[in-house]
A = this chain, B = another copy of it.
Amino acid sequence: MSKMKPRTLSGFMELLPARQVQFDRMVEILRQSYSLYGFTPLDTPLIEASEVLLAKGGGETEKQIYRFTKGDTDLSLRFDLTVPLAKYVALNYGQLTFPFRRFQIGKVYRGERAQRGRFREFYQADIDVIGDGSLDLSNEAEVPAIIYKTFTALGLNRFRICVNNRKLLTGFYAMLNLAEQSGAIMRTVDKLAKIGPEKVKALLVEDCGVPEQDAEEILRFTGIGGSPAQVIAALEAYRGRNEIFDLGLDELQMVVGYLGAFGVPESHFAVDLTIARGLDYYTGTVYETIMLDHPEIGSICSGGRYDNLAEYYTDKKLPGVGISIGLTRLFFVLEDQNYLNEDLITAPADVLILPMTEDLSPSISFATTLREAGIRTQLHGEQKKFKQKLSYASKLSIPYAVFLGEDEVKSGQVTVKDLDTGEQITQTPEEAVRRIQEGLARRRIGTPIREPGSDTQN
């Protein structure tokens, strides 16, 4: 029979088993972390009716969308988790209780040009809090804490959460009578880190039609730096000239003020007045998160406050605040940069049992005992030589091997070999279970991410 060459589509991440375990461990920590903050899990279809999914228009992503017909129905794969959330909330409005806090970790699809580290199918890990009519600022203040706790739970420490407030920008550009150009200006200012202030200034003047004096003022403003307290002090100098600006400053002060109580150290936080996060959607606090040692990969967790989640579906005003982690891309970077902790168990089993008697019953019984103690156990029943079976365990990095021969069966004992240390002990099943459990507990200490050069033994 002629064979079809197997392949996986370009831009689709498909991991080998050990890597998949590492990925899943990160997902599990995200689930736990989001759950600790009172977010409920949600799962929505990958496919939606195109007219529903694209009600708002796909914007820049429209041509990237996987859109097709099945029968007479025009369908699209979701390209983010926000539009399906808007649909869900509008559709189930009467059955939800607000504020509605949900997390969703799922795949989304964008037919981007394939390039290294860019994916067409990728996981997003989102949280959103949706209010009915109004939503208190305390929700915006809580977000940096969630970001901080989530990344430290993963084992990432060298990162910084950067916030800004869109009202500050809106108000500031209004002060300069540049409200109309503010979109173009923000897009230009966004290039600061890439092209530097001189070029930004030139673009502001030439492309955005900003008077030279105002361009300098904009650069002075967006260049305000220092500790959060210093930034706020500098911003106070602008107070009283625009109501929206003043409101934004009050909001920023409150967000910064609660950081301590939320357990976010100042070392991991900065106010960055250059952050805008798109044009129309966000209306209050906005967030970006950068890896200190890899600023070039951009923000690994972003989001912000918005006023209208579902305006394309409902007249209800549904303000919210949310953040999103691009998990597939983050995992790619972590792997690429050698940040994945290779010491944690990635084996499919904790114990491999090597039956050495014709009758497998004693081995099966002990496997059952181990599993009942929560120990992941594989029975190696293949007709292979002893050495091959041991090599199987070591190839898969299975921590323990158990040998059950006639001697063990007669004496009611088992022989357990720690494949890491080579230590081999014949002991009672109860002793074996305890020893294995203790060993596994030791090997489970640590986080999925381990930063290069970190001193800690995690």
| Residue positions of A touching B, CB distance < 8 A | 1, 3-9, 12-17, 20-21, 23-24, 35-49, 51-52, 55, 66, 68-71, 73, 75, 86-88, 90-92, 95-97, 99-102, 107, 109, 111, 121, 131, 134-139, 142, 145, 149, 258, 260-263, 310-315, 347-349, 352, 360-362, 364-365, 368, 371, 374-379, 381-383, 392, 395-396
Contacts and interface: CB of A to CB of B under 8 A. Distances in A.
A40 B68 contact: no
Given A20-B40, A35-B376, 10 more contacts: A6-B313, A8-B87, A9-B49, A9-B73, A38-B349, A66-B70, A136-B382, A138-B381, A260-B361, A263-B368
A312 B3 contact: yes
Listed from nearest, the 5 A-B pairs whose CB atoms lie closest are: A38-B378, A138-B381, A68-B68, A38-B349, A40-B348
23 contacts: A3-B313, A4-B55, A4-B312, A4-B313, A6-B88, A8-B45, A9-B47, A13-B45, A14-B43, A17-B42, A17-B102, A20-B41, A21-B41, A23-B43, A36-B376, A37-B377, A66-B75, A101-B348, A131-B382, A134-B383, A136-B383, A145-B368, A149-B371
A308 to B, nearest CB: 10
A310 to B, nearest CB: 8
A101 B376 CA distance: 12
Given A38-B348, A138-B360, A1 B97 contact: no
Contacts of A371: 36-37, 149
Oligomeric state, in copies: 2
Contacts of A1: 311-312
A98 to B, nearest CB: 8
A149 B368 CA distance: 10
B374 A36 contact: yes
Contacts of A134: 382-383
Contacts of A96: 16-17
